[in-house]
A and B are shown apart, each in its own frame.
Chain A
Amino acid sequence: MSVDPSYTEYPLRRRGMDHDLYDWSNMFDRPPAPWTGVAIWPVISLEWFPILPSDAPFRAPGHMQTAYPDFRHYTAREYGTRVGFYRLLDAFEKVGARVTIACNGAIAERYPELIADIVRGGHEIVAHSTDMNGTIASTLPEADERALIHASIEAIKHATGKRPRGWLSIARSQSFATPRLLAEAGLAYMCDWSHDELPVGFRTEAGQIVNLPLNHELSDRQILTVQQQSVDSYAEQMQDAYRWLSGEAQNYGGRMLPLHLTPYIMGLPYRIDAFERLLAWFKDQPDHWFATGSDLVDAACQS
């Protein structure tokens, strides 16, 4: 089979990006961020996995894996929601940090006590789809995607009394319409694109939306589950990252370090001690700032 003649034509080969969502920019040439030191941005994904998984448009990471009924994975994910999540909340309370919770709409509907505890702790909730069957890709009809975004926002608004300001897609997967639909829904920020290490404004036909890069390479899922490293190695990697960013912050202005956590991964008894020690180490760093997504977006938009 040979390639079509159009395969060697490059209609978008031009100055700048090959799309209109954002401009290219060198992070080291930008005006300094409006904070000093390292903003540590903890994000906990709080997810409900139906025991009847859907593969349309794709099956979410962490979803059911065996033939029905997959008690193993259904209950192990619920362990994270019932137990592991509280270990993480307690760990952050010990260091006085407020965190961002990426919450499925189904969690808000099913577990109001959990939502009340999050709100009481002063944490921020961002919308994270409906449940773990609510994946987005370019094969999802736009009307369905719009309805999914609306339903997840409404579920959180109903449970907390407040509209969420942020959005995280499952597996960070978007369609070409997603940034526009999120802006249209009135959201201030999304966390899906990991192309940068500071907040970046996106243009859409429905107005601007900020992307806060939630680096997937620094997540507990990537390091512990995908790359199969120990929690001690995870903690060492976060400390190495912090030290490097702290050095850059002195020369270039504030930096951000995302900590993306999954209750059924990090909230296990044999891992949580090392994680608590890491948080205590962060708290001892003189230039640290535990920030929520809204803290970062508000700071970036005021500058």
Chain B
Amino acid sequence: MREGEADPGLYDFLPYRGRPKIEWPDGKTVAVWVAPNLEYYELDPPANPMRKSWAKPHPDVVGYSHRDHANRVGHWRMAEAMTRHGFPGSVSLSVALCDHIPEVVEDARQRGWEFFSHGIYNTRYSYGMDEAQERAIIEDSIATVQRATGQRIRGWLAPALTHTPRTLDLLAEYGFDYTCDLYHDDQPTQVNVAGGSLTAIPYSLEVNDHYGFFVYNMSPREYADTLIRQYERLAAEGAQSGTVMCIPLHSYLIGQPHRIGPFEEVLRHIVADGRAWIARAGEIVDAYRAQVPGAAA
């Protein structure tokens, strides 16, 4: 990025009208990927000067225990529902989860899910890191996930969405293929990096379950209806353009007993509709890159 400039120059402007169409396999119009956040939040993390980890003084029992629900209860409900309807996960992973609760990571691996890094912990932020520290979390992420799952991670979602001006350049330098940190489009786009090739895959804050439940205060059925509307529109437009829909989840939210039933109806709806290419993030990035000159690394 162009540090210090008003326009950081993350990508070139490409208006939605008149773009070349992206083709998905089997004539599908929208590539749908589900992104469960498998996270670990620390009870008493050290302070980052730019952001507090917890809203309340430590121990924030409500905040911590709510997140911990994910790894004891919520994950299993969410993962079973996804598997039942044929949705693999592309996991934004707090890589320390491989050390703390390897059972959750192993369960995701056995389901055929793809992993990308979401930092070490979701209570450690990139703000204020020098280059050596930021390289350390990237190298730690690559090595930890490789050791735990055998996968070389290809993507990145910054821990708690905290970045430095050098994050995207470093990702490209380390050979990552995609970032989930930019929200400017409904199709993949190329990121301007110092060297190499980095693709921005559409993620979503707007239909993230965190926004649905904790920012927009939706009921579980309103959130399910929101996902179906998002899907219907993107599937229709995708007949001309080739779109991507991401469903980002946190199992401590979607895995609650009053929400998982309405959510399962969404998965059922998408499968029955038939216009969706249900895929992992890496497969979507590969299909896009194969169609865009100069995009492949």
Contact = CB atoms under 8 A, between A and B. Distances in A.
19 contacts: A7-B48, A8-B136, A8-B137, A14-B99, A15-B99, A16-B101, A17-B68, A18-B43, A18-B44, A18-B100, A24-B71, A138-B59, A174-B61, A227-B213, A227-B218, A233-B219, A236-B219, A241-B256, A244-B260
Given A195-B66, A237-B220, A243-B261, A15 B72 contact: no
A198 to B, nearest CB: 9
Interface string B54-95: 001111011011101101110010000000000000000000
Interface of B: 40, 42-44, 46, 48-50, 56-59, 61-62, 64-66, 68-69, 71-73, 76, 96, 99-103, 120-121, 124, 127-130, 133, 136-137, 213, 217-221, 256-262
A217 interface: yes
A238 B136 contact: no
Given A4-B46, A13-B96, A137 B258 contact: no
B100 A24 contact: yes
A194 B46 contact: no
Task: Please tell me the size bucket of the interface on A.
Answer: 35 or more
A176 interface: yes
Contacts of A66: none
B49 A3 contact: yes
B99 A2 contact: no
A218 interface: yes
Given A3-B48, A236-B221, 17 more contacts: A1-B128, A8-B136, A13-B99, A14-B100, A18-B40, A18-B44, A19-B43, A137-B56, A171-B62, A173-B56, A216-B66, A217-B66, A240-B262, A243-B261, A244-B257, A244-B258, A245-B257
B219 A237 contact: yes
Contacts of A3: 48-49, 127-129, 133
Contacts of A215: 256
Nearest to A9: B46
Q: Which 6 A-B pairs have the closest CB atoms?
A: A195-B65, A241-B258, A241-B257, A195-B68, A227-B217, A193-B65
A24 B66 CA distance: 14
Interface in A170-223: 171-176, 192-197, 213, 215-218, 223
Contacts of A217: 66, 256, 258
A70 B24 CA distance: 62
Contacts of A27: 72-73, 76
B260 A173 contact: no
A176 B66 CA distance: 17
Nearest to A8: B133
A192 B61 CA distance: 7
A241 B96 CA distance: 31
Contacts of A213: 65
Contacts of A34: none
B71, B99, B219 pick with most chain A CB within 10 angstroms: B219
A6 interface: yes
A174 B63 CA distance: 12
Contact of A196 (B59, B61, B73, B256): B73
A6 B46 contact: yes
Contact of A194 (B42, B66, B220): B66
Contacts of B100: 13-18, 24
A217 B213 CA distance: 10
B40 to A, nearest CB: 8
A173 B62 contact: yes
A143 interface: no
Interface string A230-273: 00010011101111110000000001010000000000000000
A206 B172 CA distance: 53
Given A8-B137, A175-B59, A195 B69 contact: yes
B219 A244 contact: no
A255 B77 CA distance: 14
B171 to A, nearest CB: 18
Contacts of B130: 2
A277 B44 CA distance: 43
A245 B260 CA distance: 10
A233 B213 CA distance: 14
Nearest to B136: A8
A28 interface: yes
Contacts of A229: 217, 219
B257 A257 contact: yes
B56 A195 contact: no
A197 B76 contact: no
Nearest to A246: B257
B217 A226 contact: yes
A271 to B, nearest CB: 16
Contacts of B65: 192-195, 213
B121 A173 contact: no
B275 to A, nearest CB: 28
A122 interface: no
Given A3-B48, A8-B136, A176 B62 contact: no
A303 interface: no
A139 interface: yes
A146 B25 CA distance: 65
A24 B101 contact: yes
A58 interface: yes
A302 interface: no
